[in-house]
Amino acid sequence: MTDIKIHEVGLRDGLQIEKQAVPLEKKIAWVESLLVSGMEMIQLGSFVNPEKVPQMADTDTLFNHFSQPGKKQSAAILSGLVLNERGLERGMACGVDMFCMGVSASDTHSRKNTGKGTDEALGGILTMAQSAIKAGKRIQASIQSAFGCGFEGPIPQERVMSIVDKYLSAGIRNISLADTAGHAFPPQVESLYTNILKRDSKVELACHFHNTYGLGLANCYAAFKSGVLYFETALGGLGGCPFTKVAAGNVCSEDLVHSFQRQGLAMAIDLEKLIEISRDLSRFFNRELPGFILKAGSIVKFNPVQ
């Protein structure tokens, strides 16, 4: 239980859907604050076509900045999302600590997101994963739309497990299930993760839930009960996939940290610092963000763990 890790994806999944451009200097300031907060995993961006996702145009520069001596005064793992070999090459050149890559269990979502069907995209992901592993890099492979798709509806569990099996056969032991469309519900979450652990009890499991239908935090708890140790969340509850049918924000980082800290977990993270960063995000975008703790404040300090 002490090994729980919050993987902050706000700078990637949180910003990719925003129309208001964020200056590089502002992103650097947010990352510096996250490093001070004790966040152990931070996703700086994605190596995608800047014409399709303009907000990610400075990802290489951001990684290069924090690769310089003295710039990353923390042991935090800096991750980056890659979709193809070109993205992997870019990430290798600018100091990515962990490569996140994946394929959608929904063929329709896969084509909208990558221009390729699931099977074709999976072949490329497996090749990239093996290249990164050979280069000594840490990787995480995800399955997007693992719990349902806004275009196709329910996704058969067997389809998700067939992708899991291919990951395991390729030597991939860090697997994330992503609820891209926000369709997941707790019993389904427990069932999927339990089945993965039956395949390989030593696999490192991650989750990425969207709060489209209000079940994000409940799904995180179901994942935690099922043995998941890595939780991908975004400051303020920002974000949403621009290539899904109904885009909605991620589980809010402060909300999940707050709920875990009520149980004495994730105590190394400075919750007040996270709230401070989210307030700055709210000021920058000039709107109220979805997160609850941002509005209500923390009660952890008034309810110490017994």
Spell 255-291 as b/e; 16+ CB within 10 A means b. bbbbbbbeeebbbebbbebbbebbebbbeebeeebbb
Tell me the residue range of the domain where 180 lies.
5-302
Going by pLDDT thresholds of 50, 70 and 90, the confidence category of residue 245 is: very low
Q: How many domains does the chain have?
A: 1
Backbone angles phi, psi at 193, to 5 degrees: -70, -35
Q: Quick check: 273 pLDDT over 60?
A: yes
Question: What is the pTM (predicted TM-score) of this model?
Answer: 0.93
For 99, the enclosing helix (H) or strand (E) is strand 98-104
Residue indicated by tokens 């990515």: 96
Report the pLDDT value the prediction gives residue 35, as an integer from 0 to 100: 97
Report the pLDDT value the prediction gives residue 151, as an integer from 0 to 100: 86
Going by pLDDT thresholds of 50, 70 and 90, the confidence category of residue 305 is: low
Report d(CA 41, CA 7) in Å as an integer. 5
CATH number of 91's domain: 3.20.20.70
Going by pLDDT thresholds of 50, 70 and 90, the confidence category of residue 256 is: very high
Backbone angles phi, psi at 250, to 5 degrees: -75, 165
Of 94, 149, 220, 241, which is the active-site residue? 241
Q: Quick check: 288 pLDDT over 70?
A: yes
- For residue range 161-215, list pLDDT tens digits in order: 999 999 999 999 999 999 998 999 999 999 999 999 999 999 999 999 999 899 9
Report the pLDDT value the prediction gives residue 108, as an integer from 0 to 100: 87
Catalytic residue status for 220: no
- For residue range 12-62, list pLDDT tens digits in order: 999 988 889 999 999 999 999 999 999 999 999 999 988 888 999 999 999
Counting every residue written for the chain, the total comes to 306
Q: Quick check: 243 pLDDT over 90?
A: no
Report the pLDDT value the prediction gives residue 24, as an integer from 0 to 100: 97
